[in-house]
Amino acid sequence: MKLLRFGPKGQEKPGLVDADGIVRDLSAVVDDIAGDVLSDAGLARLRALDTSTLPRAPEGVRLGACVGRVGKMVCIGLNYADHAAESNLPVPTEPVVFNKWTSAIVGPNDNVEIPRGSNKTDWEVELGVVIGKPCKNVDAADALDHVAGYCVVNDVSEREWQIERGGQWDKGKGFDTFGPIGPWLVTRDEVADPQQLDLWLEVDGHRYQNGNTRTMIFGVAELVAYLSRCMSLQPGDVISTGTPPGVGLGIKPTPVYLKAGQTIRLGISGLGEQLQRTVAAQ
């Protein structure tokens, strides 16, 4: 299944994409794509629906973040060896963990704001993992049983605030609009292997990132297991699993960063695409 949320910001309704690609309204069935809806039982209930009886969403309606009521968004840094190299940093021996504030989360096609005074706003296409079942101290062999599904994430990053202003990554990762999620949550039964997914990103039509999740240093199951030792993971929590090479920071000889008025397009095979315009923050 492809689950999503649609409508004006702050008023999103739950929905799904039917077999014909039509967005259907689930608001008479569930209140949101969140909480128990993401459990195995909740997803099974949605799969059993006759989608042809569900109302159609309006044509061209805005898509919100594909998960509601996200409790935490946990991100992994330097999880591709070649990205670590372009960042002039050693390959991690354990996952590098940081947070993205939930106030950064926006829809997949919403504008990305360039913070005031920023000259180093960057892009990062990433595989997002959405937790469906609570987990704590799980083994890697069982970790994927706790995953509801997967989505596209753009881990937008302000490199000056991330690297040059006190050594605290979270500051550069959590600006408003720095967490586009979606367009939809693809349930795990439709993703045969999360370690065999192509991912890419373009700015103004120029392809900067081309990668595949098979080159992750720490795979999805290992990450879920590792994080479950640091914290309990709850339904709706999102894990952003790191980016392949091709970020603006790593471009030689001169890094390339985003400015207002540009278009970012990114996607992951089987999980859909995002399209954002950059605007100056007010």
Residues 39 and 84 in one domain: no
pLDDT at 16: 98
Which pair of tokens denotes residue 15? 């929905």
pLDDT at 82: 79
Residues 11 and 82 in one domain: no
Pairing verdict, β 147-154 and 185-187: antiparallel
- Write the pLDDT tens digit of every residue in 61-85: 999 999 999 999 999 999 998 787 8
pLDDT at 84: 79
- Write the pLDDT tens digit of every residue in 143-195: 999 999 999 999 999 999 999 988 778 999 999 999 999 999 999 999 999 99
The residue-averaged pLDDT of 95-109 equals 97
d(CA 223, CA 233): 12
Q: What is the mean pLDDT of the chain?
A: 96
Residues 263 and 164 in one domain: yes
| Residue 62 lies inside a defined structural domain of this protein | no
The residue-averaged pLDDT of 83-102 equals 89
| Residue 68 lies inside a defined structural domain of this protein | no
Count of domains observed in the chain = 2
Pairing verdict, β 2-6 and 185-187: antiparallel
140 — pLDDT class (breaks 50, 70, 90): very high
Residues 85 and 43 in one domain: no
| Residue 232 lies inside a defined structural domain of this protein | yes
The residue-averaged pLDDT of 220-230 equals 98
259 — pLDDT class (breaks 50, 70, 90): very high
pLDDT at 166: 85
| Residue 261 lies inside a defined structural domain of this protein | yes
| Residue 64 lies inside a defined structural domain of this protein | no
- Write the pLDDT tens digit of every residue in 2-38: 999 999 999 999 999 999 999 999 999 999 999 999 9
Residues 42 and 155 in one domain: no
**What percent of the chain lies above the pLDDT cut of 70?**
100
Contacts of 13 (CB under 8 A, 6+ apart): 5, 6, 7, 25, 26, 27, 57
d(CA 228, CA 250): 31
| Residue 59 lies inside a defined structural domain of this protein | no
Pairing verdict, β 272-280 and 13-17: unpaired
| Residue 8 lies inside a defined structural domain of this protein | yes
Q: How many residues does the chain have?
A: 282
Residues 236 and 275 in one domain: yes
92 — pLDDT class (breaks 50, 70, 90): confident
86 — pLDDT class (breaks 50, 70, 90): confident
Residues 79 and 14 in one domain: no
Residues 33 and 151 in one domain: no
The greatest distance separating any two alpha carbons of the chain, rounded to the nearest whole angstrom, comes to 57
Residues 202 and 123 in one domain: yes
Nearest to 215 by CA among 228, 231, 199: 199
Residues 82 and 197 in one domain: yes
- Say if residues 2 and 32 touch (Cβ distance below 8 Å): no
Question: Above 90 in pLDDT, residue 239?
Answer: yes
| Residue 201 lies inside a defined structural domain of this protein | yes
Residues 25 and 113 in one domain: no
Domain that holds residue 266: 73-280
CATH label of the domain that carries residue 191: 3.90.850.10
Residues 117 and 24 in one domain: no
pLDDT at 91: 86
